Amino acid sequence: MRALVTGGGGFIGSHIAERLAKDGHDVRVLDNFSTGRRDNLLHLQDDLEVVEGDIQSYERVHNAVRGCDVVFHQAALPSVPRSIQDPLTSNGCNVIGTLNVLLAARDEGVSRVVFASSSSVYGSNPTLPKREDLATAPFSPYAVAKLAGEGYCHSFHAVYGLPTVALRYFNVFGPRQDPLSQYSAVVPKFIAALLRDEAPYVHGDGEQSRDFTYVENVVRANLLAAAADDVAGKQFNIACGDRFSLNTMIAELRSIIGSERDAEYGPSRPGDVRHSQADISRARGELGFEPQTSFREGLEYTVEHYRELAARAAV
């Protein structure tokens, strides 16, 4: 298989590219490295092709898609807070960029596009767990953009016959997330703080809960979605089907790291959803998906990764 991973220098994209290369596939990565990191691909430099470019350029995207069988579309400008601060830039990357990928895939006769969507599309819908047939209620500009991407995927399948699959990720974490960015997810931020013997900072009371999903589970879901029969045009929740509060996560991290630091609490952030949990029965039944790494195991692997980075930086 010849695969293109857009956003392949990023957190999730680099893990997908790595798995594809290890499985013997021909891999091409498209990334403008605005949020992705070249360091994420250094160990793979002999096993894949890197094309530098922005998905908002149709010409650049078309050149990258040419000759590929499957596109794993991971490129995005992530973060709910970032989209609230700058909705126009978020829309350009996450909507126009996705449209360019779909146009290029259609024009090049790609056999499947796997699109990285988000649990944020459920937004303010209070029903738990979240099922794919629930009404969507996106709250943030980021969520609106991801839902628009899903809409374009469905449209390109229905109108042009382009096989697409949208995967709604729930709070993915693991190695290679950047703990230093102001838009970082909570897991790397909490780990970095505790490793420095500092108090992790929590927006709100810490009782908000999420279906935290280790990155290797998401990688497996992408590979399954690329190969499964009779799933074109559909959406799937990708998660573990469980939820943990931020306070529970901090307690687990303190146990793993051996820290006694208490958290520091501040105001809640606008756009944040209180609780989120996935129903993954559709992914189990139609993709054959099963999360293989538990929440605790994923935290242990992630802490080990950041400890190794800290040790190397200290030399």
Residues marked as catalytic: 142
DSSP string across 249-298: HHHHHHHHHT--PPPEEEPPPTT--SB--B--HHIIIII-----S-HHHH
Token pair of 236 as six digits: 């799937």
C-alpha angle 258/262/268, rounded to 5°? 130
Phi and psi (nearest 5°) for 165?
Answer: -135, 130
Length of the chain: 315
> What's the CA gap between 283 and 129, in Å, rounded?
14
Beta strand 244-245 pairing with 209-210: antiparallel
> What's the CA gap between 265 and 254, in Å, rounded?
16
Residue 108, classed as helix, strand or coil, is coil
Is the bond preceding residue 129 a cis peptide, omega within 30 degrees? yes
> What's the CA gap between 27 and 2, in Å, rounded?
6
Question: Token match 């080990």: residue?
Answer: 304
Token pair of 157 as six digits: 């399948």
